[in-house]
Amino acid sequence: MIYSHISDAIKTPHLVKLDNHFYVARFESMKIYSTLAAVKLLLEQGKIKTSDTLLDSSSGIYAYALALACQKYGLKCHIIASKTVDETLKTQLEMMGAIIEPAASAPNLKLDQENRVKRIHELLNERDDIHWMQQYHDDIHYEGYREFAELIIQHFDYPEISIVGGVGSGCSTGAIATYLRDMGMKVNLHGIQPFGSVTFQSDHLEDPGIIIAGIGSAIHFNNVRHHLYNYIHWISFDYSAIGAINLLKQHGIFAGLSSGSGYTVGKWLNQNSNTPCLFIAADTGHRYTKPVFQDFANEQVDLNEPLAPTLIHSIKQLKLPWSYMPWQEQFHKIA
């Protein structure tokens, strides 16, 4: 097939079988699905026009996806960038015409995110040609994952499946599960969070190594639908890094730190369940080359040690390095 733009060619993941009933959906950049669909819909609805600038904050893969969507549809792009946006990605985005504005310096993730949102509001007050995409708040970002759900239905002839992936803004794993359930497939949705994220109440615990950008948050996200998740796994940087390294060593898949989390959780699930498991590898591993694949891999870590979580039934029991909870129990308590 010949595509009219590179974003259409790379949005679809590679589906790879890793073991018996254990699969990965390996993306170059997962959020291309949501940005292409959202921008197309906004243009069709007349909510934006081609002279507008699309604005949002990002820690990495959303920035790349939005820049591609803006290039495809002839719009301008402005990103308030987290400190996790590396020089390689920054160069790519600027070459595509995006304005990359670093957020004000902050000592931690919470203040970094708050500073990015503050700057967005300043720009909205200054200009009337800007549309804030609100990837963390607008349900429009669910729409693009309908296509990915259809791909899963097409290739996985199972009545039931476990989906594993980062929660993030809620518009990826939550959306996938929503559409799969609408299509008649039973889904056990395992959402992954870093320690320190407010989204599923782990903000009272700090992971010293945390650099897992994008799958958790220090501020509230409006488009996370908590009731969609059957299980939540809180997993440390170390266990995520071990997963990412082993995914590359054992299967040749170079993917990011959240993918390492997904591999760690998915591998454990596959060993302890007969339900087929598909985990999401949302991006490549390039921005983690030094902190994970070079620095961490050189530490004295046993990569072959079996990793397993602690089952908890209350947030008060939450502890590092890996805890998991049947979230529906907690959800019904607080609903």
Tell me the CATH number at 215.
3.40.50.1100
Chosen domain end from 139, 158, 178? 139
Three-state SS letters, the chain: CCCCCHHHHHCCCEEEEEECCEEEEECCECCHHHHHHHHHHHHHCCCCCCCCEEEEEECCHHHHHHHHHHHHHCCEEEEEECCCCCHHHHHHHHHCCCEEEECCCCCCHHHHHHHHHHHHHHHHHHCCCEEECCCCCCHHHHCCHHHHHHHHHHHCCCCEEEEEEECCCCCCHHHHHHHHHHCCCEEEEEEEECCCCCCCCCCCCCCCCCCCCCCCCCCCCCCCCHHHCCEEEEECHHHHHHHHHHHHHHHCCCECHHHHHHHHHHHHHHHHCCCCEEEEECEECHHHHHHHHHHHHHCCCCCCCCCCCEECCCHHHCCCCEEEEEHHHHHHHHC
The first and second tokens of residue 57, run together, are 């904050």
User: Does 128 reside within a domain?
Assistant: yes
Cβ burial, residue 299 (10 Å; 0-12/13-18/19+): exposed
Does 180 share its domain with 117?
no
Q: What is the largest CA-CA distance in the chain?
A: 56
Provide the number of structural domains found in the chain: 2
Rg (CA), the chain: 19
Same domain, 236 and 297: yes
Per-residue pLDDT 10s for the chain (335 aa) are 899 999 999 999 999 999 999 999 999 999 999 999 999 999 999 999 999 999 998 877 889 999 999 999 999 999 998 776 778 888 999 999 999 988 776 656 666 677 888 898 899 899 989 999 988 888 899 999 999 999 999 999 999 999 999 998 768 999 999 999 999 999 999 999 999 888 899 988 988 777 655 687 777 888 899 999 999 999 999 999 999 999 999 999 999 999 999 999 999 999 999 999 999 999 999 888 988 999 888 887 888 888 999 999 999 999 999 999 999 876 555 44
Query: Among 139, 167, 193, which residue terminates a domain?
Result: 139
- How far is residue 247's CA from residue 47's CA, in Å, rounded to a whole number? 42
Q: Which pLDDT score is estimated for 107?
A: 59
**pTM, entire model:** 0.93
Whether residue 179 is found in the same domain as residue 36: no
Both 219 and 119 in one domain: the answer is no
Identify the pLDDT of residue 299: 85
Tell me, yes or no, whether 246 and 289 share the same domain. Answer: yes
Q: Which domain holds residue 80?
A: 32-139
pLDDT, position 335: 46
Residues 285 and 268 in one domain: yes
Residue 1 lies in a domain: no
* 170 falls within a domain: yes
The dihedral built from the CA positions of residue 44, 48, 49 and 52, taken in this order, carries a sign that is negative
The answer to whether residue 179 is domain-embedded is yes
If asked whether residues 92 and 113 sit together in one domain, one would say yes
Any domain includes 334? no
Clarify whether residues 157 and 223 are in a common domain: yes
- 190 belongs to a structural domain: yes
Co-location of 110 and 152 in the same domain: no
255 within a domain of the structure (yes/no): yes
pLDDT attached to residue 30:
93
- Given the DSSP bridges, would you call strands 186-193 and 76-81 parallel, antiparallel or unpaired? unpaired
- From 88, 110, 139, give the residue that closes a domain: 139
Q: What was the pLDDT predicted at 247?
A: 97
Judge if 79 and 177 occupy the same domain: no
